[in-house]
Amino acid sequence: MTKKVIEKIKTLESKRAPWNVAPESMSFILRLAEIIGCKNILEIGTYNGYSALKLSLVTNKLITLERDEIFIKEAKENLKIAKNIKIIKGDALKTLKDKVIRNDSYDLIFIDAMKPEYQGYFLIVKKMLSNKGIIIFDNTISHRKKIGETFFKEIKDSNFEINEFSYGDGLIVLSKNKMKFSAKDLKHRYNG
């Protein structure tokens, strides 16, 4: 299975879509997942399944949420080779309230979806995070206006450790247990 997943990832990378997570961001996220020993990942925003495939290599179980019918169709085709990924269709703000998702605890929650809804996602998923867990938001520099200042105020006022990195279009990493991450300490083992 892993060989087929890697082959599919290479195919997607060769046809890189603009909405895919930036390669340097993905490398960084994978390194963080490895450091915390990810067993269970929740992804909000599947798009074509690229990031889910990459993340599936470092976890036992991944649930990814997507609401766009066209993206779901493409993602299902790309993800069918990975047995540890489950794609769920629907608006994440509603789907996150589903018992199957809500009753689980996640080591990593990766959010790369509707930017104006980042605050709503955070308010729901922060309760789903494992004690060692982290929440990662993508595009926090490039889409700051779309995300909205209320999101940034909300996370600042939370009890989470906040780290922002300039990888790709910006990543915010929130940790429950006050873990600090520095780019210097995190050597990338993954290429792209």
Domain ranges of the chain: 2-175
Answer for the pair 42, 63: CB distance below 8 angstroms, yes or no.
yes
The pTM of the full predicted model, rounded to 2 decimals, is: 0.90
Inform me whether the pLDDT recorded for 28 exceeds 90: yes
Helix, strand or coil, per DSSP, at residue 185: coil
Compute CA 27 distance to the chain's CA centroid, rounded to the nearest angstrom. 12
* 188/22 Cα distance (integer angstroms): 14
CATH fold of 2-175 reads Rossmann fold (3.40.50)
Answer for the pair 85, 16: CB distance below 8 angstroms, yes or no.
no
Q: Hey, CA dihedral for 87, 37, 126, 119, is it positive or negative? A: negative
* 50/174 Cα distance (integer angstroms): 22
Q: CA geometry: angle at 144 spanning 164 and 113, to 5°?
A: 90
Report pLDDT digits (tens) over 114-171. 999 999 999 999 999 999 999 999 999 999 999 999 999 999 999 899 999 999 999 9
Residue-by-residue DSSP string for 98-128: SHHHHTS-EEEEEE-S-GGGHHHHHHHHGGG
Q: What is the pLDDT of residue 90?
A: 94
Pairing of strands 161-165, 129-138: unpaired
Phi, psi (deg, nearest 5) at residue 48: -95, 5
- The CA distances from residue 35 to 9, 51, 69, in Å, are 22, 18, 34
Q: Across the beta sheet with 61-66, what order do the strands follow?
A: 85-89, 61-66, 40-44, 106-111, 129-138, 171-175, 161-165
Report pLDDT digits (tens) over 36-70. 999 999 999 999 999 999 999 999 999 999 999 99
Inform me whether the pLDDT recorded for 85 exceeds 60: yes
Helix, strand or coil, per DSSP, at residue 10: helix
